Amino acid sequence: MQETVLQTKNLTKTYGGGTLALKEVSFALKKGEMVCVIGPSGAGKSTLLRCINRMIEADEGSSVVFDGKEITSLRKKELAQTRREIGMVFQHYNLVYRLSALENVLHGRMGYYSTFAGAFSLYKKEDIERAVELLGMLGLEERVYFRCANLSGGQKQRVGIARALIQDPKLILCDEPIASLDPQAAKVIMEYLKGISAEMGIPCLVNLHQVDVAKIYADRIIGMKDGHIVFDGPKEELTDKRIENIYGAKIHEILA
């Protein structure tokens, strides 16, 4: 098979107050793979994603190897440099709404600029050209200079994807990317994510609420329950029985 991009071992996270969010989570992600993480809310999906790029610090003894580097032991500066290579797409898009689509996409390059140049938006011409090109690829050519506040939900998420893509990432983490979108926009976003992994070869780790969507787009599905991985395999193997196990409810209740 292809090379492994990400490998977690014994990834554990305990929040203050003793809540165990993740317990010894181990899995690997290969180049060009689209993996969907499913599970009920509170299963630790979001924490898992954020522990990978250390937006949340995992407990001692956890191991996250990304691109041959042990992320959990990186120092501040090295961490920032590593984060440049991991794109992230969020449920609430996490855009700066008073800035334009283009400016938000350029935020993806921020880690490559000096503090001064980054703070005062002194972007390189080739970065701006690349950002405009990416927005064009995602069908936002007419919206390049628009304020993000004036975009629709689907368009906002496409800006979010462009921001991740301009990082030239080796991995893209998507935290519930379609949870706030209508079905039509959700389909478009999932198609884009599928395209990113299949055509560009960038592996995507996607948290999802909807099992049916995961079954359409994923190459592999990880099922989580109470901070554990309870299923990890190709989508064909995700039977109704196993879904019921993940969600702890009957299948007709889940899809209703």
Nearer to another protein among residue 129 and residue 240 (C-beta): 129
Report the 10 Å Cβ neighbour count for 31.
16
Nearer to another protein among residue 62 and residue 100 (C-beta): 100
Full 3-state SS string of 5-68: EEEEEEEEEECCCCCEEEEEEEEEEECCCEEEEECCCCCCHHHHHHHHCCCCCCCCCCEEEECC
Report, in Å, the least distance between residue 90 CB and another protein.
6
Residue 204 three-state SS: strand
158 CB burial (10 A radius; 0-12, 13-18, 19+): buried
Structure token digits, residue 238:
């995700």
Nearer to another protein among residue 176 and residue 229 (C-beta): 176
Report, in Å, the least distance between residue 3 CB and another protein.
22
Nearer to another protein among residue 18 and residue 183 (C-beta): 183
Structure token digits, residue 188:
């478009």
Contact residues for another protein (CB under 8 A)?
53, 55, 80-84, 86-88, 90, 92-100, 102-103, 106-111, 113, 115, 118-121, 123, 125, 128-129, 132-133, 136-139, 141, 144-147, 160, 163, 167, 191-192, 194-195, 199, 216-217
Report, in Å, the least distance between residue 163 CB and another protein.
7
Report, in Å, the least distance between residue 80 CB and another protein.
4
Nearer to another protein among residue 129 and residue 237 (C-beta): 129
Report, in Å, the least distance between residue 31 CB and another protein.
18
Cα(235)–Cα(215) distance, integer angstroms: 6
